[in-house]
Amino acid sequence: MASTIGASELYRQINAGAVPEILDLRNRDEAASAPVAGRRPVDVRNVPVYVVMDDLDAEAERVRDGAVVVCGQGNGSELVVEELAARGRHTRSLHGGTDSWARLLVAVEVPGPPGELRTWQFQRPAKGCLSYVVGVPGESCLVVDPSRHHAPYLELAAEHGMSVAHVVETHVHADHVSGGPLLAQRLGASYHLPPEDAGGTSPYSSRALRDGEELDLGSATVRVVSLHLPGHTPGSVALVVGERLVLVGDTVFVRGVGRPDLTGHADELARDLFRSLHERLALLDPTTWLAPAHWSSPGEFDGLGLVRTTLREAFDTELLRDKPVEAFVEEVLASLPPAPAEYDTIRLVNSGLRSLPEEALDLLDVGMNRCAG
């Protein structure tokens, strides 16, 4: 029987530097668009399965002991691991393949000031997506920018005795299929989707957050305040948690800002983004932590394994430091790579304006995000 490793354990071992190599058996396009990666760099070799099977003896000479072999569903990788074991090499197959990797969500608690309010950052390594749970143990919580895979949010809420009162989208996402509408419907929670991002209306039962609105999570002194930050999209909002943490969606990242071209009117939205950054976010305390909805590279993680930056650090970058609006717009628009073709479809799905079967949603929900400008 082939030696296997689960997705969560693989992520842990990559982050600990304990994976000597990943042997990716998928075709080159799949491997390039949806890499298996964590917080630390790991050597990856992409060799299609038919090439490996054609010369197993040669592969047994090349592969490193302890390497992890991956494929789509795990069947091909298990066969390769068994063949390599017969040739004296110890490797491991990713159980469930990259399908299981695509569903992986890892919760890391965000340190906060003393008090009842707690925040967890959920990392989805297959896409570089970040979602959040903010709540008061023993009372209620909200889920921000959830993926389609609900179980980890529900397990954490149950562990801390919290009911989910709100599901919030910071914007209508273009890079991944949201799990927000189904999660809110399943739990009877309030769903909040910016209507400006959905063409002004949406078939989902949702309520837009007003700028400055407070969401009560149970204790009289605990509030989460919304903040309208148009730019990446017309309706983008951030959530101010406590006094020193802002969940900023795709407005600004550890490195870079949200691309303003995914909903059209790129020049106009780039100007909105400049104003949101300099006239709204910049007014906060410079020690405030900004926690985004994405990461793009391992260097964006801090020493606690979180993707976040301070307001001071964000505004100390060349892009945001003392730059007139015209120069900012020109630089942002000039840096934009082509948007993936499927992003328009994903936005329609997340707006509730298009319905697709589960198989089609699975295909749309593959690959790292490309939301940075």
Helix axes 325-334, 266-279, angle to 10 degrees: 130
Q: Dihedral angle at the C-alpha atoms of 34, 239, 339, 153, nearest 10 degrees?
A: 30
DSSP state of 39: S
String of DSSP letters for 79-108: HHHHHHHHTT---EEETTHHHHHHH--EEE
User: According to the model, what pLDDT value does residue 270 have?
Assistant: 95
Q: Contact 179/146 with Cβ under 8 angstroms? A: yes
Return the biggest CA–CA distance within the chain.
67
Contacts of 144 (CB under 8 A, 6+ apart): 131, 132, 133, 134, 168, 169, 170, 239, 247
Average pLDDT, the chain: 92
Q: Contact 126/98 with Cβ under 8 angstroms? A: yes
Q: Contact 369/307 with Cβ under 8 angstroms? A: no
pLDDT digit string, tens, across residues 8-21: 999 999 999 999 99
Categorize the per-residue pLDDT at 175 as very low, low, confident or very high, splitting at 50, 70 and 90.
very high
Beta-carbon neighbour count of residue 123 at 10 Å? Answer: 22
Contacts of 236 (CB under 8 A, 6+ apart): 170, 171, 194, 197, 228, 229, 230, 249, 250, 251, 258, 276
User: According to the model, what pLDDT value does residue 221 have?
Assistant: 63
Token digits of residue 364: 């749309």
Could you tell me the sign of the dihedral formed by the alpha carbons of 180, 185, 188, 190, in that order? positive
Percent of the chain with pLDDT over 90: 77
Q: Contact 22/43 with Cβ under 8 angstroms? A: yes
Question: Residue 292: is its pLDDT beyond 90?
Answer: yes
How far apart are the C-alpha atoms of 154 and 161, rounded to whole Å?
10
Name the pTM for this structure: 0.94
Categorize the per-residue pLDDT at 322 as very low, low, confident or very high, splitting at 50, 70 and 90.
confident
Q: Please state the domain extents for the chain.
A: 4-101, 105-364
CATH superfamily of 105-364: Ribonuclease Z/Hydroxyacylglutathione hydrolase-like (3.60.15.10)
User: According to the model, what pLDDT value does residue 319 have?
Assistant: 86
pLDDT digit string, tens, across residues 106-151: 999 999 876 789 999 999 999 999 999 999 999 999 999 999 999 9
How far apart are the C-alpha atoms of 36 and 126, rounded to whole Å?
7
Least confident stretch, 175-184, 302-311, 332-341: 332-341
Mean pLDDT, range 168-196, rounded to an integer: 94
CATH superfamily of 4-101: Rhodanese-like domain (3.40.250.10)
Percent of the chain with pLDDT over 70: 98
How far apart are the C-alpha atoms of 134 and 143, rounded to whole Å?
7
